[in-house]
């Protein structure tokens, strides 16, 4: 039986608790470890990070990387998972046995997206509507918006202040998922992840736009299960 912990990192504006339900659709012996960032769910009273480096420092300090483990991240979570794998390498700590990145362009490529974290509330909301795959229900509901938008703004600030640093590719299996028609990451940008691993990168494109990870949940889980079994 496979024995492995799958650390799951959330997308912008979201918490990680929803990943817990994945366990029943993954191979026996896979333990889901949802990783919550400050500002959401049980950590809602904490100020969210607006830069990546302090978040990485917290994750290296607080997560247990003993035994076999793998990383999954969608959108912002993909960037965090990738850079956490590189930070573990820099510190000569254990490496994940598999990295699954989802809904985020290969980080060395130019990200041609409007910067929004600095905008006023009205301009921020208007730009989200025009250029991002954000649920209108969230933007139209004042209570939901009051809770979620500050965290989303902080998460977008992490992405917008991120500066890729040239380093050798990771020597580990890497799988990259993308959404057909996703404004956040084109198929070409998803395929660009090949440059970040010394091994052949498996690319899988799903219908459903940026949130294909929810729309195509079972297909995504099937692909993760396949990847876990292939690299167990």
Catalytic residues: 75
| Element at 7 (helix H, strand E) | strand 4-9
79 close to 52: Cβ distance less than 8 angstroms: yes
Per-residue CA distances from 58 to 64, 149, 182 (Å): 12, 23, 30
| Element at 136 (helix H, strand E) | helix 136-140
60 close to 91: Cβ distance less than 8 angstroms: yes
80 close to 56: Cβ distance less than 8 angstroms: yes
Instruction: Give dist(CA 161, CA 50) in Å, integer.
Output: 8
CB atoms within 10 A of CB 47: 11
Instruction: Give dist(CA 212, CA 219) in Å, integer.
Output: 9
Question: Per the structure block, which two tokens stand in for 54?
Answer: 């302090």
């Amino acid at each position: 039986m496979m024995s492995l912990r799958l650390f799951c990192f959330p997308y912008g504006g979201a918490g990680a608790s929803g990943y817990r339900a994945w366990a029943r659709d993954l191979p026996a012996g896979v333990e889901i470890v949802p990783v919550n960032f400050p500002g959401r769910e049980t950590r809602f009273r904490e100020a969210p990070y607006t830069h990546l480096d302090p978040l990485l420092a917290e994750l290296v300090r607080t997560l247990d990387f003993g035994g076999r483990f793998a990383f999954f991240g969608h959108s912002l979570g993909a960037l965090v998972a990738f850079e956490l794998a590189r930070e573990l390498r820099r510190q000569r700590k254990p490496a994940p046995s598999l990295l699954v990145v989802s809904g985020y362009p290969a980080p060395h490529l130019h990200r041609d997206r409007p910067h929004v974290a600095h905008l006023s509330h009205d301009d921020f909301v208007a730009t989200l509507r025009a250029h991002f795959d954000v649920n209108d229900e969230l933007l139209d509901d004042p209570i939901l918006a009051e809770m979620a938008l500050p965290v989303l703004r902080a998460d977008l600030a992490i992405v917008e202040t991120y500066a890729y640093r040239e380093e050798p590719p990771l020597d580990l299996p890497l799988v990259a998922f993308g959404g057909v028609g996703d404004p956040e990451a084109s198929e070409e940008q998803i395929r660009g992840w090949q440059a970040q691993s010394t091994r052949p990168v498996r690319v899988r494109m799903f219908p459903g736009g940026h949130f294909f990870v929810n729309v195509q949940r079972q297909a995504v889980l099937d692909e993760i299960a396949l990847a876990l079994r292939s690299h167990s």
